């Protein structure tokens, strides 16, 4: 049975657009996720509190969670200062974002894509010297709300640059849910990532995952309850819901190592923490094996 690796991103990506959640709630959410069988969790983000106030307590949250030895935890960073903070806190899996769209990169990071690539080139030896790994997430890989279509060759150029500079892993982000199965095939025929991050903003998230599976991708991001989105891109709400992805994968015969019932209970916790109804279909209806 093929194993599909799911990285749970609700504690970071999922909460960055919500009203700030107290550290107690974040710790509770991460600990609950750590008990579902998920093998990877994007736990915190070391960004300036003025930029993303929802992540201002990253050091406290990271110091308080109960770390499951079977779970790999990672942190998102925007720059060298963020990397230094993450490494000092003990994180050894670091992620950094660069946008294929120059306009989105300016909105998100206040610099051009080329400037970000230069910064990443300097980050890689810093991260490696600490015995850590760096994953480069290429945002707006499937389209940009400001620029429209993004040519697959543009994404391929960025991947070639960061791989040459020594990046350990590459992920493609569907920042505002513009991907469709056709776009997934077009991009992956040009260049392949290690992991894909889809949004379900326009209802194509699961279809995109099935397409990527057919093309041999076995690592995906997902977020409990479908929480998440980009603060700097209009219409970016709606990561694929982890429980929907796991429900589908299990029915297709794939192994994720995740307990779906525990995962649904954790999505219910996420819903209580943010104080609003989440749209995940599996959260609402339960798994197909649940009888009315």
CATH (domain of 53): 3.20.20.70
Task: Give the model confidence (pLDDT) of 259-283 as tens digits.
Answer: 999 999 999 999 999 999 998 999 9
291 confidence band (pLDDT: 50, 70, 90): low
pLDDT at 136: 98
Q: Residue 238: what pLDDT?
A: 83
Q: What percent of the chain has pLDDT over 70?
A: 96
Residue 115 included in any domain: yes
- Report pLDDT for 140: 96
pLDDT surpassing 90 at residue 160:
yes
Residue 232 clears pLDDT 70, i.e. is over it: no
* Cα–Cα distance for residue pair 80/120, rounded to 1 Å: 8
Mean pLDDT, to the nearest integer, of 36-48?
97
Question: Which domain covers residue 255, as residue numbers?
Answer: 5-285
Contact 190, 163 (CB under 8 A): no
Task: Provide Rg for the chain, Cα atoms.
Answer: 18
Q: What pLDDT was estimated at residue 237? A: 67
pLDDT, tens digit (0-9, with 9 covering 90-100), for 103-127:
999 998 899 999 999 999 999 999 9
Tell me whether residue 292 is in a domain: no
Q: Identify the pLDDT of residue 108.
A: 86
Per-residue pLDDT tens over the stretch 54-111: 999 999 999 999 999 999 999 999 999 999 999 999 999 999 999 999 999 999 889 9
Is 103 part of any domain? yes
Adjacent-strand bridge partners of 76: 45, 95
Instruction: Report yes or no on 274 lying in a domain.
Output: yes
290 domain-assigned: no
Residue 263 lies in a domain: yes
pTM assigned to the model: 0.95
- The reply to whether 181 falls in a domain is yes
Widest pairwise Cα distance in the chain:
56
Report the mean per-residue pLDDT for the chain.
95
Q: Which residue in 230, 246, 249, 267 is the catalytic one?
A: 230
Task: Tell me how far apart the alpha carbons of residues 77 and 63 are, in angstroms, rounded to a whole number.
Answer: 17
pLDDT at site 289: 76
Query: Does residue 230 have an active-site annotation?
Result: yes
Confidence of residue 2 (pLDDT cuts 50, 70, 90): very high
Residue 291 falls inside a structural domain: no
What is the number of domains present in the chain? 1
Predicted pLDDT of residue 169? 98
Residues 6+ apart with CB under 8 A from 126: 80, 83, 84, 87
């Amino acid at each position: 049975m093929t194993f599909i690796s799911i990285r749970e991103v609700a504690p970071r990506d999922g909460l960055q657009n919500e009203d700030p959640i107290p550290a107690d709630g974040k710790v509770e959410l991460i600990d609950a996720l750590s008990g579902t069988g998920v093998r990877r969790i994007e736990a915190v983000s070391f960004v300036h509190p003025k930029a993303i106030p929802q992540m201002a307590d990253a050091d406290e949250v990271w110091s308080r969670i109960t770390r499951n030895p079977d779970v790999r935890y990672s942190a998102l960073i925007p720059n060298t200062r963020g990397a230094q903070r993450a490494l000092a806190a003990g994180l050894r899996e670091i992620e950094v974002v660069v946008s294929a769209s120059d306009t989105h990169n300016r909105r998100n990071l206040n610099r051009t894509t080329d400037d970000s690539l230069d910064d990443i080139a300097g980050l890689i030896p810093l991260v490696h010297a600490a015995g850590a790994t760096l994953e480069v997430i290429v945002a707006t890989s499937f389209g940009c709300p400001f620029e429209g279509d993004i040519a697959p060759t543009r994404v391929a150029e960025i991947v070639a640059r960061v791989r040459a500079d020594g990046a350990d892993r590459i992920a493609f982000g569907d920042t505002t849910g513009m991907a469709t199965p056709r776009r997934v095939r077009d991009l992956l025929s040009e260049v392949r990532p290690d992991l894909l991050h889809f949004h379900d903003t326009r209802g194509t998230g699961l279809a995109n995952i099935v397409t990527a599976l057919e093309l041999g991708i076995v690592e995906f991001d997902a977020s409990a309850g479908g929480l998440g989105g980009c603060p700097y891109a209009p219409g970016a709400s709606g990561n694929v819901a982890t429980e929907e992805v796991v429900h589908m994968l299990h029915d297709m015969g794939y192994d994720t190592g995740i307990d779906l019932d525990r995962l649904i209970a954790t999505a219910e916790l996420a819903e209580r923490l943010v104080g609003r109804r989440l749209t995940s279909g599996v959260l609402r209806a339960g798994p197909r094996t649940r009888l009315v």
